[in-house]
Amino acid sequence: MKKLAWIVLGGVLLLTLLAAMLFGAYLVFGLPDDLGRVTINGQVLNLHGAHAGHWLLASLIVFVGLLVLMVVVPAVLLLALIVPLTLAALGMLAGAVLTGLVLSPLILLGWWLWKRSRKPDTIPA
């Protein structure tokens, strides 16, 4: 459990570091207005004027998005699915145990009456 906590803490610290780098790149380079020119299926995309800072900014955005997906999606699945299902299973188990405790006198009485009503086993002579 400790190892998982360290992994999550490391992921959060890495996310924080990447977000700080993203913010710093935004402050230094700003958002790109004019980039170069790329044509995809007849559609023209201008990409001229992009330099290393803009590519750094774009790659950091992708990395932060991926890290958020790696941290947030499992946490949401854990909290939204696993915890309620575990609590429901524990509730059903507790209900079964308590039902057995409440009905135990009747179960014992039924077993005793069933044993009493059977014919005794005899050994043939």
Q: Is residue 109 part of a domain?
A: yes
Q: Is residue 53 part of a domain?
A: yes
Residue pLDDT, tens place only, 17-26:
888 888 888 7
Residue pLDDT, tens place only, 24-83:
887 887 766 555 667 788 887 766 666 677 777 878 888 888 888 888 888 888 888 888
**Average pLDDT score over residue span 108-119:** 84
Instruction: Single out the residue of 18, 92, 87 nearest to residue 56, CA to CA.
Output: 18
Q: Is residue 52 part of a domain?
A: yes
Q: Is residue 124 part of a domain?
A: no
What is the CB neighbour count within 10 angstroms for residue 49?
A: 11
Q: Is residue 80 part of a domain?
A: yes
Q: Is residue 85 part of a domain?
A: yes
- Residue that has been written with the tokens 């790696």 in this structure: 70
Length of the chain: 125
**Average pLDDT score over residue span 81-108:** 90
Domain count, the chain: 1
Q: Is residue 106 part of a domain?
A: yes
Residue pair 73/24 in contact by the 8 Å Cβ criterion? no
Residue pair 64/17 in contact by the 8 Å Cβ criterion? no
User: 116 pLDDT exceeds 80?
Assistant: yes
- The pLDDT value recorded for residue 36 is 61
- The pLDDT value recorded for residue 5 is 84
Domain of residue 102: give its range.
2-117
- Residue that has been written with the tokens 């900014």 in this structure: 57
Strands 43-46 and 37-40: antiparallel
User: 90 pLDDT exceeds 70?
Assistant: yes
Q: Is residue 122 part of a domain?
A: no
- The pLDDT value recorded for residue 93 is 95
Residue pair 36/46 in contact by the 8 Å Cβ criterion? yes
- Hey, what's the torsion of the CAs at 91, 97, 98, 103, to 10 degrees? 140
- The pLDDT value recorded for residue 76 is 87
3-state secondary structure of 125: coil
